[in-house]
Amino acid sequence: MTPTSSQSALSTEVAVRLKRDPDGLVCAVVQQHDSGEVLMVGWMDDEALHRTLTSGRVTFWSRSRGEYWRKGDTSGHAQYVKTVALDCDGDALLVRVEQIGAGLPHRGAQLLRRPRPGRGRRAFRE
């Protein structure tokens, strides 16, 4: 089961700017608003984006479960929306949030170092 954009209350002004994949989804990169830390990547259809914009809590479409889910309802790591931005070609969202909960989930070793002068932005740890 995949979501359908025709059932959403998302404004036409926003909906026409989205470039969706064949399943009607747009990638949403979630970032902690004050530190810039990338917290996760999820998928949104029009209805999930509408819920995110109107409720102030991040909602995704679960591709594996075939249903909407709101970050934090089961994990306790709620994400409160600060801003939502669309990239230049409309195929990705940047959702800046305040994540509240008992620590951040999925905090493995950081793979990227901070950029060093003259070294570029893609310095990987070995």
What the block records as the tokens of 10 is 């998302």
Q: What is the pLDDT, as a whole number, of residue 122?
A: 45
Q: Quick one: pLDDT band at residue 107, thresholds 50, 70, 90?
A: low
Q: Quick one: pLDDT band at residue 119, thresholds 50, 70, 90?
A: low
Asked whether residue 95 carries a pLDDT value surpassing 90, the answer given is yes
Q: Are residues 77 and 101 in contact, defined by beta-carbon separation less than 8 angstroms?
A: yes
Strand partners, 98: 80
Q: Quick one: pLDDT band at residue 12, thresholds 50, 70, 90?
A: confident
Phi, psi of 68 (to 5 degrees): -80, 145
Q: Which alpha helices (H) appear in the chain, and where do they start and end?
A: 12-15, 46-55
Block residue for tokens 């008992």: 102
